[in-house]
Amino acid sequence: MPTSTTAPQVTVESLARRQRNQRLLDLLAEITHRALLAPSGRAAREVLAEWGFPETSVGHLDVGYFPDPAFVAWELQRRGVLTSEAEGAAVLSPTWSGRVVGPWRSPRGRILTFFAWAPESADRDGRYVFGPGSRPPALFSQDRPAARRSGHLWLVEGLLDVLLAVWLGMEDVAGMGGPFWLLSVQVLAQLAASGIRQLTLMPADDEEGRRDVLTVLQNADRVTRPAVDVFVVDPAMMAGARDLGELAQRRATQVLTGVEAWRMEGNVYRVAMVPLQ
């Protein structure tokens, strides 16, 4: 006789703890966003503007600025958070002070973790660092999967690039929060199961970016039905840019005007990048 398994029981205490934790995360998002708009957040606003965000967009972005940790703790306590809870808000590391930060949300809007942005990092995998729990398994997106009107998804590496793309009018865009080689067979299979049939990568125009795309193409070949057809933005059109932010700096508001025409099939990309002997 088969044994039955029961789901972990949700107690009143565990539910209350979960609600307190989510309230704490929501407060952190509010406090850091207000700090971004305050005089102390001027340097962070300037960095966002340099990345391509118009000044008028900053107040609408789901990001913030992490000032002195003591100030954040004081703001939490002022809003009724217990001292022990405020001190336990380690989701924002003290080393993040002075950084642009933001919440990584689930499709339903629940905060899963926070990220800090380090655009000056030469290491592509180090441009974003995350709070406890590290990078969530789901892609970073500003829309709900059910709201996507097509089976196509644009994919960028940077989380701020997702926000920039959305601000510039791009729909159905998601971010890795790291290099493309993180796009595993399992994640590709999950995208296919969710209804995504075409995926267009916007890689960096450098050797590392090319290697990462070839890894994604290899992984896509291993996905069984339903399959995902991978397209790539022609690296020649990226003109040396390592991401959408740098491309936006060069092309300003015209950055996405011709991006649809810049797509090439993954197999064409593979042949062009690795010519047959």
Give tens-digit pLDDT for 28-51.
999 999 999 999 999 999 999 888
Average pLDDT, the chain: 82
Looking at the structure, tell me whether residues 247 and 145 fall in a common domain.
Answer: yes
Does 164 lie in the same domain as 267?
yes
Same domain, 145 and 226: yes
Residue 15 reports pLDDT greater than 80: no
In a 13 Å sphere around the CA of 143, the CA atoms on its Cβ side amount to 18
Same domain assignment for residues 149 and 221: yes
Residue 108 covered by a domain: yes
Nearest to 269 by CA among 216, 223, 225, 222: 216
Q: Which residues contact 251 (CB under 8 A, 6 or more apart)?
A: none
**Domain membership flag for residue 50:** yes
Which DSSP symbol is given to 135? S
Residue the block writes with tokens 């005089």: 39
pLDDT over 50 at 277, yes or no: no
Return all residues near 18 (Cβ < 8 A) that are at least 6 apart. none
- What average pLDDT does the segment 207-231 reach? 90
* C-alpha closest to that of 199 among 213, 178, 179: 213
Please list the residues that pair with 175 across neighbouring strands: 140, 156
Note the pTM of the prediction, 2 decimals. Answer: 0.83
**183 domain-assigned:** yes
The parent domain of residue 110 ranges over: 15-130
Question: Is pLDDT larger for residue 21 or for residue 58?
Answer: 58
Cα gap 62→198, rounded to integer Å = 27
Q: CATH number of the domain that 213 lies in? A: 3.40.1360.10
